[in-house]
A and B are shown apart, each in its own frame.
Chain A
């Protein structure tokens, strides 16, 4: 059962990661604008800057459009801005070196806690099968034998819970 759950979790994770991967042949102007942070202090990306006459966002948008029209790639434009303003101009850290930690740590944290939860559950399950049944807890102690019995037990439990409400 645990294997099946692990496979499901892995599939779900793959599905989730799938949504983060943005497969593009080339970057559109809006993608390049989104990759750069406006330097006017608004805290938004060049694409979203709310100052219609912004001294940074407006010329940058124009420059991006012209550069793309000239045949420069999105990556080249971003690199050019990075060289000029430093890493702070990028709206998200590049997944390289120390910055890789920014991207990996949240998923690593979830994976580690999830794995610990699974391992703990498996350890407890093994312990439970070795321990004698607890006479005080009828529902839990009676050894589950068939899916039919499980189904009745679950239904009974649900109905008891319903009555308690």
Chain B
């Protein structure tokens, strides 16, 4: 089996390199047969990487400890579901998994475009195959996944206990899908630059890929936050760790791109900017991989560090050089046909929105690399932690929230005074009223007041957009109000799906702001039968229980929770002691409601049964996760293929073929 895995990997390197050469030759020499040959090589790479992955999964599940990777990340006591997820628990497996996703998406893109965009496709193939060849060569030459041990151990070291969690089963795949999916739109952008087809063809073709990449990157970040919330036991979900930042930065530039690309489609503007954004987004995905695996910057995500840094940096430099070289080559053709008419316009709001997104991405990048810079310049080690990022990015994010409300209601081209009065008076008054109400209710944080005010402003503007559209449609087509709303969303999925996503983002803003500013926390040491109070909850420590199996020992506490003298639930926070590697871990328990989360961590229980608990009350944090659900619904609305869109696309393809 191992020989098959290795052979498939070597062949994958050969086929991916052939795909690069054949596709570039085909495009340059206009040789159709080489286009097909290059594409077939890319399909073959996918098949070969799939075989390699199957062999690795087989080795992980069957505990083949002769393989170094399997011995390092599994054990015989590890449940099978975690043996499978050990594929992304270490460096070699995670890069193999990355390559599998990349080749799968490449094959899907090639199949999807087998009869269209033929001019661009050789470059798409070449770009995706170049990235594949880079990853496969790392696996072949530097970190072979099937490296063997001379003396296989009887038992493996096991998977890091922090990774033995449900969220770790879905967080890395979602994040990797998000990262890797940006390769396809990047490939189309390179194709557009190389061929000179700089109209919005590449944008329309890659739109769903961008949405998919953005969606999975958002989900990946959210799942990671949820994992941190449930597993790390510090009551928070985002610590501005370099690796978290690495996943956050492409999400920001990708979101900026999804907004600014609308201006190119409608107004034929911002072509250079959009190219820059897609290149930066892809480059940031490679930079993120570099950060995770280089060990250059210290991070709690240290389980996949190695000496691959220089290779990633070289590849990153190559990507930036080629991409911006092509942009420079086409700079004249990328000049916009139209200009901004007024600074008081929707186009301008989009521009400011982009400025803020890129500003936050830059601030995050700057804060992430500043410790390295400081050490390099001054020779002094410093830390750039959460307080820095919160202070620098917080105000920018609040301004972004405000723009989210302004964007949908300000007029295209040029807003007149009348337009501003008509559209802004009511939502502004509502925002001010909500902010004042917040202050009257005891809110004293300026950030919190601004966020609730702006949230009310944004939610009103979105509701007004739905209401006015539904009323007009209902009157015109004699539809009921609900049918009109559904009709609106069907007719213009992108616009209304976008609004639903904005609603989700507002919920996230509220959840993050309120849970960060108004969090309550208490540390209590109590005997059995004693109770303590936090916020409006009273917690009574009832009992503790020990459990043990071959994999771990568990110490479980039982706490009855009371609110206004009435028992509302029982919580069971745990302390776990994993046997291989010998490592303690925390399993928090919580009661989650729309109002707040009661979050309890068990610290210790001594021989006399005296227990220490850290308890938190996190207000409105539920809305952060619910915002994620709304975001999923919004993306589904925006991206789901509609009948009208399919017919339009079919007509476009037919007319292109006839020509």
Q: Known: A19-B394, A109-B359. Contact between A102 and B388, CB under 8 A? A: yes
Task: Tally inter-chain residue pairs, CB-CB below 8 A.
Answer: 169
Determine if B382 is an interface residue (Cβ-Cβ < 8 Å): yes
Chain A residues contacting B359 (CB-CB under 8 Å) are 106, 109-110, 113
Chain B residues contacting A15 (CB-CB under 8 Å) are 395, 399, 450
How many chain B residues sit at the interface, stated as a range, is 35 or more
Residue interface bits A44-71, CB-to-B below 8 A is 1, else 0: 1100111011000000000000000000
Task: Look across to chain A and name the residue whose beta carbon is closest to the beta carbon of B351.
Answer: A117
Q: How far is the CB of B499 from chain A (nearest CB, A)?
A: 14
Determine if A28 is an interface residue (Cβ-Cβ < 8 Å): no
Task: Look across to chain B and name the residue whose beta carbon is closest to the beta carbon of A122.
Answer: B343
CB of B384 within 8 A of CB of A93, answer yes
Chain A residues contacting B320 (CB-CB under 8 Å) are none
CB of A50 within 8 A of CB of B586, answer yes
Residue interface bits A79-106, CB-to-B below 8 A is 1, else 0: 0000000111111110000110111011
Distance A74 CA – B298 CA, assembled complex (angstroms): 27
Which one, A12, A16, A118, A151, contacts B343 given CB within 8 A?
A: A118
Residue interface bits B295-312, CB-to-A below 8 A is 1, else 0: 000111000000000000
Give the top 8 A-B pairs by smallest Cβ distance, nearest first: A16-B395, A52-B603, A106-B363, A92-B388, A50-B234, A91-B385, A110-B359, A43-B300
CB of A19 within 8 A of CB of B450, answer yes
Task: Look across to chain B and name the residue whose beta carbon is closest to the beta carbon of A92.
Answer: B388
CB of B392 within 8 A of CB of A103, answer yes
CB of B416 within 8 A of CB of A151, answer yes
CB of B383 within 8 A of CB of A154, answer no
CB of A93 within 8 A of CB of B603, answer no
Determine if A75 is an interface residue (Cβ-Cβ < 8 Å): no
Determine if A140 is an interface residue (Cβ-Cβ < 8 Å): yes
Taking Cβ atoms with an 8 Å cutoff, the residues of B that contact A are 232-236, 239, 241, 266, 298-300, 338-344, 351-352, 355-356, 358-359, 362-363, 366-367, 370, 374, 377-378, 380-388, 391-392, 394-396, 398-399, 402, 411-419, 446-447, 450, 491-492, 495, 586, 601, 603-604, 612, 614
Q: Known: A106-B363, A117-B355. Contact between A154 and B391, CB under 8 A? A: no
Distance A150 CA – B362 CA, assembled complex (angstroms): 37
CB of B399 within 8 A of CB of A147, answer no
CB of B492 within 8 A of CB of A165, answer yes
Determine if A130 is an interface residue (Cβ-Cβ < 8 Å): no
Which one, B233, B355, B398, B413, contacts A110 given CB within 8 A?
A: B355
CB of A42 within 8 A of CB of B300, answer yes
Determine if A143 is an interface residue (Cβ-Cβ < 8 Å): no
Distance A125 CA – B344 CA, assembled complex (angstroms): 13
Which one, B366, B396, B419, contacts A102 given CB within 8 A?
A: B366
Distance A46 CA – B477 CA, assembled complex (angstroms): 62
Distance A101 CA – B392 CA, assembled complex (angstroms): 12
Distance A128 CA – B336 CA, assembled complex (angstroms): 14
CB of B392 within 8 A of CB of A114, answer no
Question: Could you list 10 examples of A-B contacts with CB < 8 Å?
Answer: A17-B395, A43-B241, A45-B387, A48-B234, A50-B233, A50-B601, A92-B385, A98-B378, A147-B416, A153-B413
Which one, A90, A147, A153, A158, contacts B417 given CB within 8 A?
A: A147
Distance A100 CA – B412 CA, assembled complex (angstroms): 40
Distance A154 CA – B604 CA, assembled complex (angstroms): 66
Determine if A1 is an interface residue (Cβ-Cβ < 8 Å): yes
Q: Known: A50-B233, A110-B356. Contact between A16 and B241, CB under 8 A? A: no
CB of A19 within 8 A of CB of B447, answer yes
Task: Look across to chain B and name the residue whose beta carbon is closest to the beta carbon of A97.
Answer: B378
Which one, A45, A92, A99, A150, contacts B374 given CB within 8 A?
A: A99
List A residues 142-157 near B (Cβ within 8 Å).
Answer: 144, 147, 150-151, 153-154, 157
Which one, B358, B362, B383, B604, contacts A88 given CB within 8 A?
A: B383
Distance A114 CA – B354 CA, assembled complex (angstroms): 10
Known: A106-B392, A165-B491. 20 other contacts (CB 8 A): A15-B395, A19-B395, A43-B239, A43-B241, A43-B299, A44-B386, A50-B586, A86-B380, A88-B381, A88-B382, A91-B387, A93-B388, A102-B367, A103-B388, A110-B396, A113-B355, A113-B359, A124-B339, A140-B338, A147-B418
Task: Look across to chain B and name the residue whose beta carbon is closest to the beta carbon of A9.
Answer: B352
Q: How far is the CB of B491 from chain A (nearest CB, A)?
A: 7
CB of B382 within 8 A of CB of A124, answer no
Chain A residues contacting B386 (CB-CB under 8 Å) are 34, 44-45, 48, 91
Distance A140 CA – B205 CA, assembled complex (angstroms): 29
Distance A67 CA – B491 CA, assembled complex (angstroms): 65
Chain A residues contacting B385 (CB-CB under 8 Å) are 37, 43-45, 91-92
